Each structure stands twice: as structure tokens, then as C-alpha cells.
Amino acid sequence: MICNEQLAKMFGYSVKEMNDAPPWLETFVAEEDRHNFAWNYQNRVAPLACPVTFRFTALRKDGSTFHAETDMIPIAFAGHAIAYHFVRQLGGLGR
């Protein structure tokens, strides 16, 4: 994973911490939204089918959450399907 400073700050990490973090799903997506996140990746991104935009509950380093939206754009890189994400924080405080 490669991220920019704005994304790292949104999740409460430094860029290095975020780039070195364990898998995205378990680290940055609240448990109740992991199934939806994984489904979108497996059924739309991995087969390079189409970009998809959806909302999810994001998980910060300190355990707090916030409402987020992502544009997942499938691309092929070194023979593998990967997702290019645009993540934005939505209104609302989360929990």
C-alpha cells in the first residue's frame, strides 16, 4: 500500500506507519462494514469489472471511527488487479 499524507492524517497515522500497516480491511475498515468492502473488491475490482463508489465506517488508529466514502478504481499492475482509492471523510462525527 502507498498513501499520501492527507490519507494518513485522516486515519491518525504517519505515512510510514500507514504504508507499513497490516492489510487494509482489518486495519482501516470497521468490522460491520468489512463484508461490504470485501464484496466490492472481489466482485468489481479484482475482475477489473468497473470502478465502484460506496460508503463505509472507517477505523482510526486510536479506535475511533468516522464515516467515509471511497472510489475504488481497478487497475492492473505487474499482472495483478489492484485498487486505486480516493477516500474522503463525510460529515458526521462517527464514534
Question: What confidence score (pLDDT) does residue 84 get?
Answer: 87
95, part of any domain: no
Beta bridge partners of 54: 70
94, part of any domain: no
Q: How many angstroms separate the CA atoms of 41 and 47, rounded? A: 9
Question: What confidence score (pLDDT) does residue 92 get?
Answer: 57
Read off the DSSP letter of residue 24: H
Q: How many domains does the chain have?
A: 1
21, part of any domain: yes
Q: Give the other-Cβ count within 10 Å of 38's Cβ.
A: 12
Question: What confidence score (pLDDT) does residue 85 get?
Answer: 87
pLDDT tens-digit map of 42-91: 888 878 778 889 999 999 999 999 999 999 898 888 888 888 889 999 98
